[in-house]
Structure formats: structure tokens, C-alpha cells
Structure 1
Amino acid sequence: MKSALFSAFLISLATVSAREPLDRPNVVLIFLDDSGYGDYSHNGNPTIETPAISKIANEGANFTQFYVTTPACSASRYALLTGRYPGHSGLGSWVIGPGAKQHLRTAETTIAEGLKTRGYATGMFGKWHLGSPNQKNGMTPDSLPLAHGFDAWIGTNVSHDYADAKLLRSDPDGTNPIPGYSELARDLPSDDATSTS
């Protein structure tokens, strides 16, 4: 369960509003990989306790009708961010590996870009998994969140269990590890004695 909560933290997606007009609502999207409707206590799960997620769901809008055409993280993120079917992505795979040439195309319009046109400040916090700068794609920063409407980003470029996963932050090129947090994500401490990489 602790591993699942850590994963939920790493993959959450948040978009926050600018401070200008107070009549606009804050928009925060939390996106969890590989979870189902019945996995949460607020949806009736009698075994798994999810008090923090349940509190957020009960105090905000809990959207339960978001479906994707594939049960994989890159495809799900693509659908959520663009509102399009994953087959339109051109990614060639439902899960983008750390050395893949493919990444979210800059021609795609994301929800973050749409919110920015309405004056919102945007941030993405957690697992991106829609492309990484690497030798195959010319180390392009176009593969990271800053090129897709996000003002700030802290998270992993790929899933935390890839050998070269790093905790990254936004900077001019969006690829520098956070000082003090450049360890491989799979080597981060865990109090779960059964956790594996």
C-alpha cells in the first residue's frame, strides 16, 4: 500500500490557477496509473483505506467516467492531456521507454495550454512518461512538460522503476536533476521491506 501511495504521489498531475481573479476556480487533476474505480474507500472498497484520496474526492469533483483505450500509462496520460484517443498520438507504443525517440508532439494541444490561454499558471508534478531527451531524439527538451504548456515541473521522466529514472525539475532546458535528488529513483529509500526495483 505504501508503494501504491508513493506511486500515486509521483504520478499525480496538478494544474493550479494564477492569483488574479478570485472568481476562477483552482483546477487540480490527480491521475493515478493502474487503478480502478473500486480501489478506493470512498467508492466502497472495504479493505483498502484511502483517507487522503477520499477526502479530496469528497470535497471536490470526482470524475469517474474517464476511460482510455489501453491500460498503459503513456497512452492514458496522452488521452488525459490532449482529450484525444491514444491511437492519434504517433507514439508507436502504449508505454514510452526512456531511450525512445518518440515523445508528445509539440503540435498537440494540451489541457495545460488551454488553461494558460485563460490566464492560469500551470504545473505538473509527478511521472511524465510522454518522452525524454535522449540520443535518439537529439536530446530535445520538446519531449518534456515545459514544451507542452506547463510553467513548472518536478517529477520523473519515466516510470520510477526504469534504470535511468531521475527526479527532475523544470529549468531552462527542463532536464537537470534536482540537486540532492539525482539518485536513481529505484534506489530511493523505502520502508517497505518487500519493495523491489
Structure 2
Amino acid sequence: MLIKIKPYISKLVVIIIFGITACQPSNDNSKNRPNIIIFFTDDQGYADVGCYGAEGFETPHIDRLASEGIRFTNFYVPATVCTPSRAGLLTGRYPKRYNLHEAVLFPFSEGGLSLNEYTMAELLRDNGYTTSIIGKWHLGHKEEFMPNNQGFDMFYGVPYSNDMDNYYYKEIDFQSPPLPFYRNKTLIESGPDQDYLTKRYTEEAIDQIRNRSEKPFFMYVAQNMPHTPLHASPAFIGKSEKGLYGDVIMELDWSVGEIVKTLKEQKIYDNTIFIFTSDNGPRIGSAKPLRGKKAETWDGGQRVPAIVAWPGKIPKGVVSSDFTTTLDLYPTLAKISGSKIPNDLKLDGLDISDYLLHPETTKLPERPFYFYARNGEMEAVRMGKWKLHIEKSRGWNLEESGVFPVSLYNLDADIGEKNNVVDQFPEVVEELTNTMKEFEAEL
């Protein structure tokens, strides 16, 4: 039956259709817009990956990922511990901008990531992506701050660190509950067997990939391991020469391999950006040859392994020493995905999409990077090869070594931050000191 539409109704339909399409991204073509996976480990050190010099265990799947993309050797996170580092990743902004830069959130904390922040998940969802987080959130366990209210369509995992499971905080007489395990806003388990966390997250990622919609997807796989207490499934116990820690890393490597294998089986690997990195330095792993570890603003606390692969787009087997950070991922993925960043949103990261696609011919600019300690104070700044430290709350023994001296290091020549050249370059010290003061004044 032929249905006639009156002229004024026809015009109305055209206006409505035009209005709807005008709100869509200009290149909203699911066949061309890449899927995005960020595989984020917890407390994995700079040297806790085979291609970064790991000892006592192997990571063949992560190493293969590096051979298929870019491996970064000067990649940093904006904090020394979990909560602020994850906040920086998802906002592209220093956590101090929204008062989430000090320490971490606990099961007794009332706050979380400000709902005024426009997260990477919100950005991508608003521009045609499905979004999911699998694993550890740690940006606020109260319902208002949970993932489903921060841009994620799906959440499968836990709200904070695995060591907070049923933990008693004697200083404030607070007993935390068994570790909550959620699917979206529904509590599905309390105190899960942590031996199987990595395996469960991997299986969930695979299931989501296989049952995806026609839209491109953003998947944030935030593993709990190798944060202590360490846990690995029975299939990986005894696998490494380095005991349980090596077993845990080998299971994480297996997880990367299983996800990549699924992408290939689904014939979408070539159109998926896969990013592997860690939230901060190691507590018990290795950051060699860097100085320091988790919770310290020495490079060992904030320089982490990082690999970005996108077959057919990013050149294979590149090792990059250019300075980059997790803050850069927000503007970079926005550009690559065709997502529009609000004009009034001030980001601290840099769009490095041109560099990823053409690393041999693109040069990234020098820019300052600020190191905030666990106590919330700025302790250091890096600009180019220079890193200036002005104080230390951790990683410096006040009783044995005395007051921490202002220290300057040439990281190109002294990656271990051992040779203080502060007296040789007073002009560099003055310039970097002023840079720190100006940034603090801005904030």
C-alpha cells in the first residue's frame, strides 16, 4: 500500500533527520573507526616485561605486541599510586585539577572522580562508541562515582584494590567488607577467589568482543594484578623461575594473548588500537635500570612499560625514546576516533596521533611534566633530558641521609638518577624551578 505524506510532514521529517545526523561524528563509520583496548596492569614495573629486560619469566604475547607496533621507553604516568594515575588516564588532566592527587581512595572514602570531569569513556560514548571497563575501577565506590555514571555502558569488576578485601584499618577502627564484585550496578559476589580474577576478566573481555554490537568499542581492561596480594590461577602456578610474581605476570601476558587471538578470530585485529601499560611503578617487581619504585617520584615510580599497536596503521617494531604519557591518550584517541573534545576542556596531554602513524618523520615537542608525590605535593619536573627534584617524601631516608638536597639529573646520560649535576647547570635549575612555580600558581 502506497502511503502519501503531506508536504509539511515531509519537511518535518527532513528537519528531524538532518538534526539527528548533525549530532553524529563526521566520520561515524563503524568499519573505519578503530576499536580501542587499553590493557592496564596494576603496579607492573618498567622491567617487568620481556622486551624491557624482565628476568625470571617470559612475556611472549606482550613482546609480540611490541614487535607489531611502538614500544615506548620514556612513557610516564601522572602519579605514583593507583587512584590519581587512573584518574589522569581517563581525563587527560593532572589529578590535582580536580583534587584527586593525594594518596588513594579507600573503602571508607566518601569521594571519587568528580562528575564534572568529562572522561574518555564519556567522550567516546558520545561519539558513537560502546564503552566497557573490566577489572579495577578505584575512582570512587559510592554509586554516584561508579563506572556506569562516568561514561561506561558496562562494568564487570571491583571498585578498588584487591588488598582492601576484608581489611581492618585499625587507625580509624574501620572494617572493610569482602571485596565487592559488580556487573554494572549489581553486586554479584563478595570476596571473590582472587586466584581467578585475571582469568575471569580475560573471559569477560573475550565474551564482550564476540558479542559486540555493530558500533566500534572502547574496552578498558584494568587488571588487579600484580598488585599485592599476588594471585594466579592454578594453570600458572610454578610457571616461572621467579616464583609467584613471575607466575602472575605470565598469566597477564596470557591474557593479552587471548584477547589478541579473539580479535584476530573475529577479523577485527587490524582495526583495533591495542594499548598496554601500567598504572605506576612496582612495589615488589623491577624497575631496572630506573631508580625508585611505587609511591616514589623517582623515575622508577612513574616511568612504565608502554606499547601501542594498530596493525596496518602504526609501523611495526619501533622503539621510541620520545617523551610521552598516559595524559596523551585522551586527546590522541579523540583525534583517531573522530571524537570532538569540548572547546572549554583544558587538557594536559598532547595529541600524538601523527607521531604514532609516522614516528620516523614526526618530532614531538619538549614540554614540562610534573611529578606529584603520594602526599599531594609537587616534588619534581622533567623537561627534555633534564629532571629537577626539589624535595622527597618517600624514597629518601631523612634519618640516614639528612635533608633532601635540590637535585638535577640528565636522564639521557644518567637514567638511574645517580649523578646530581645541580652545581654545574644553575641556569637549568632556575628555569625548571620557575616552571614549577608557574604551574602551581596556575592550579
Q: Give the TM-score normalised by structure 2.
A: 0.34
Corresponding residue number in structure 2 for 1:168: 182
Are residue 146 (structure 1) and residue 148 (structure 2) matched? yes
In structure 2, relative to structure 1, the CA distance for the partners of 1:130 and 1:64 (3 Å cut) is farther
Q: What pairs with 1:16-165 in structure 2 (closer than 5 Å)?
A: 21-60=30-69, 62=71, 65-91=74-100, 93-133=102-142, 141-162=143-164, 163=166, 164=177, 165=179
Mean Cα displacement is larger for which, 36-45 or 74-83? Answer: 36-45
Q: In 1, Cα distance between the equivalents of 2:121 and 2:78?
A: 22
- Greater RCO, 1 or 2 (C-alpha within 8 Å, sep 6+): 2
Q: 1:26: Cα distance to partner? A: 1.0
In structure 2, relative to structure 1, the CA distance for the partners of 1:161 and 1:104 (3 Å cut) is same
Corresponding residue number in structure 2 for 1:5: none
Mean Cα displacement is larger for which, 159-168 or 71-80? Answer: 159-168
The one-letter code sitting in structure 1 at the alignment partner of 2:190 is: E
The one-letter code sitting in structure 2 at the alignment partner of 1:153 is: F
Are residue 184 (structure 1) and residue 198 (structure 2) matched? no
In structure 2, relative to structure 1, the CA distance for the partners of 1:142 and 1:64 (3 Å cut) is farther
SS at match of 1:168: strand
In structure 2, relative to structure 1, the CA distance for the partners of 1:149 and 1:61 (3 Å cut) is farther
List runs of 5+ in structure 2 lacking aligned partners: 1-27, 167-176, 196-232, 245-443
Q: CA RMSD in A?
A: 2.6
**Percent sequence identity over aligned pairs:** 38
In structure 2, relative to structure 1, the CA distance for the partners of 1:108 and 1:28 (3 Å cut) is same
In structure 2, relative to structure 1, the CA distance for the partners of 1:93 and 1:112 (3 Å cut) is same
List runs of 5+ in structure 1 lacking aligned partners: 1-18, 134-140
Runs of 4+ in 1 over 6 A off after TM superposition: none
In structure 2, relative to structure 1, the CA distance for the partners of 1:115 and 1:62 (3 Å cut) is farther
In structure 2, relative to structure 1, the CA distance for the partners of 1:103 and 1:63 (3 Å cut) is farther
Q: Is the 8 A contact 2:87 2:100 kept in 1?
A: no
Q: In 2, Cα distance between the equivalents of 1:103 and 1:67?
A: 23
Q: In 2, Cα distance between the equivalents of 1:64 and 1:24?
A: 28
In structure 2, relative to structure 1, the CA distance for the partners of 1:124 and 1:57 (3 Å cut) is farther
In structure 2, relative to structure 1, the CA distance for the partners of 1:77 and 1:32 (3 Å cut) is same
The one-letter code sitting in structure 2 at the alignment partner of 1:156 is: V
Aligned residues: 162
Q: In 2, Cα distance between the equivalents of 1:131 and 1:103?
A: 4
Q: Give the TM-score normalised by structure 1.
A: 0.71
CA deviations on 1:83-121 (whole Å, 9 max, x unpaired) are: 111222323632100120110111101111111232111
Structure of larger gyration radius: 2
Q: In 2, Cα distance between the equivalents of 1:25 and 1:57?
A: 19
Q: In 2, Cα distance between the equivalents of 1:36 and 1:188?
A: 21
Corresponding residue number in structure 2 for 1:15: none
Q: What pairs with 1:6-25 in structure 2 (closer than 5 Å)?
A: 21-25=30-34
Q: 1:41: Cα distance to partner? A: 0.7
Q: In 1, Cα distance between the equivalents of 2:34 and 2:69?
A: 11
In structure 2, relative to structure 1, the CA distance for the partners of 1:188 and 1:48 (3 Å cut) is closer
CA deviations on 1:110-133 (whole Å, 9 max, x unpaired) are: 111111232111100110001112
Q: Is the 8 A contact 2:139 2:145 kept in 1?
A: yes
Q: In 2, Cα distance between the equivalents of 1:61 and 1:22?
A: 24
User: Which structure has the highest strand share of the two?
Assistant: 2
